[in-house]
Structure 1
Amino acid sequence: MPVSAETEFDIDATPDAVMEVLRDVEALPDWSDPHQNVEVLERYDDGAPKRIRAKVSATGISDEMIIDYTWTDTTCSWELVEADKLSMQKGKYTVTATDGGAHVAFELAIDLKIKVPGFIVKGQQKKAVETARQGLTAEVLRRVG
């Protein structure tokens, strides 16, 4: 059964600064603890990542995934192509301007191929939301100085 998580938060930086961090998918391991390694396999003509291979580990479960990205000026969305332990993953960051910086909406839905106790799944949902909010915010603020 698919599970989903959402959060919204503000960052004291421009939407362009936030999107720049999101486009730098190879740096995901710097600010997203579950990401062990990210390799860009294919890029769009403008240089944005189109397909990646990611190695992730969370709560003792490791997986290698192929993920396709879609980009606009204000969104970063992705969808799982293949993985060993996940059967589905869709996610999206939507970044909009505010008076003081950027507002970020994060959505994530996953479904597992393997049986995992519910409390572990719920813990991973919470960690994904915390990483989206805290990890992304810290990385954007670190880069803008």
Structure 2
Amino acid sequence: MAEHTRSSITIDATPATVMAVIADFAAYPAWTGEVKEIEVLGTGEDGRAAEVRLLLDAGAIRDEHVLAYTWDGDREVSWTLVRSQMLRSLDGSYTLAPLAGGRTEVTYQLAVDVKIPMLGMIKRKAEKVIIDRALAGLKKRVEG
């Protein structure tokens, strides 16, 4: 990922527990505000989603896109854009690092390129909002 935004959070759960929540796409509408509909289009040999269609509704921005996922056990999941109406590219990842006491540091990295012109500063701010909301939602879902 060339220009990306990154943030981390500590979750009181093991990497396996955190990754199980990340891999449970059917539950995304319950804990991610923007994801309204989700469909797993294909799975990999490990049984985890390889391609997923998401319908997002963030008020002024409504888009449907398909993402391709790559899994590295309970250590990392990354994704890249297959197709979208509004996005030119979308690359992201969750990296999970075990901490003492059965906790996990989760780092979310995201790079988005939209088809409409947007200043870099505004784009990075939007990425930061997406990341912070996702991490907070993930923490609440895992620990709740």
Q: Which residue of 2 is the match for residue 98 of structure 1?
A: 99
TM-score by length of 2: 0.89
Using the TM superposition, give the Cα deviation of residue 140 of structure 1 relative to its aligned residue in structure 2, in angstroms. Answer: 0.7
Taking the aligned partners of 1:72 and 1:122, their CA distance within structure 2 comes to 27
Q: How many residues align?
A: 141
Provide Cα deviations, 1:16-54, integer angstroms capped at 9, x if missing partner: 000000111221111111111110000112210000110
Q: Judge conservation of contact 2:64–2:84 (CA < 8 Å) in 1.
A: yes
Percent identity of the aligned residues?
33
* Residues 17-28 of structure 1 mapped to structure 2, 5 A cutoff: 17-28=17-28
Local SS of the residue matching 2:33: coil
Aligned to 2:71: 71
Q: Residue in 2 aligned with 1:140?
A: 142
Q: Distance in 2 between matches of 1:118 and 1:61?
A: 18
CA contact 1:3–1:111 (8 Å) conserved in 2: no
Cα drift, residue 83 of structure 1: 0.2
More displaced, 102-111 or 52-61?
Answer: 52-61
Residues 55-64 or 111-120, more deviating: 111-120
Structure 1: unaligned runs, 5 residues or longer: none
Shift >6 Å, 4+ stretches: none
Distance 1:85 1:40 in 2: 20
Q: Quote how far apart the aligned CAs of 1:61 are.
A: 1.0
1:51-130 aligned at under 5 Å gives the runs 51-73=51-73, 74-100=75-101, 101-116=103-118, 121-130=123-132
Q: Would you say the 8 A contact 2:5–2:124 is kept in 1? A: no
Q: CA deviation at 1:114?
A: 1.6
Q: Is the 8 A contact 2:6 2:128 kept in 1?
A: no
- Structure 2 regions of 5+ residues with no counterpart? none
Corresponding residue number in structure 1 for 2:33: 33
Q: Over aligned residues, Cα RMSD in angstroms?
A: 1.8
Q: 1:31 to 1:54 in 2, by over 3 A?
A: same
